[in-house]
Structure 1
């Protein structure tokens, strides 16, 4: 049984519009390196499928850890400003929320 009309509508309103660009989660150099490594893994599948799957698992785990570290560092920076009594600029908070929303939407996209 598929999602109800209410679930479909809810998903539409929770995701960014097609006009809104996804926020990069990694810097372009890191992303390029990860994509290059993924391409190498795919190309290696023909010669050694098991090694390719093991490598894919390791690369995905590495990307997940990198993302977790990046978000934790960003959160720590914001919290340090709050604990020091400094007011965090609304623009910094808007960017942080956009990054979280972009990441959240990508995790839930099927």
Structure 2
């Protein structure tokens, strides 16, 4: 979809919000923990790596739980409706699937080192 189409979709009044993969407060806490792990590497490398592993585990668990819940909500929203209402709900669901998938694909891109 073109950028103009994406912007139009984002501003649609019927667009349901897609859940944050990780709320800002939680991101801040986990970022701080990761930074602390990095800062302690010189003095305690094993402990630093164990803490980084723990932070990574929490992030992936939260992402998995959030995405599973989003999928459940999207799937349940399209059951038991008449055809006209169902078509509209499917259109909204498709937009949400696209947004979530694009966010995940963006995250999958390699980062500059």
Tell whether the 8 Å contact from 2:21 to 2:67 is kept in structure 1 after alignment. Answer: no
Q: TM-score by structure 1 length?
A: 0.66
Structure 1: tracts of 5 or more residues without a match: 1-15
Q: Unpaired runs of 5+ in structure 2?
A: 8-19
2:36 to 30, 40, 44: 40
Instruction: Return the alpha-carbon distance in structure 1 between the equivalents of residues 33 and 91 of structure 2.
Output: 37
Q: Does structure 1 residue 70 correspond to structure 2 residue 47?
A: no
How many matched pairs?
A: 89
Task: Calculate the TM-score normalised by the size of structure 2.
Answer: 0.65
CA RMSD of aligned residues (A): 2.4
* Match of residue 105 from structure 1: 106
Relative to 1, partners in 2 of residues 1:75 and 1:30: Cα closer, same or farther, differing over 3 Å? same
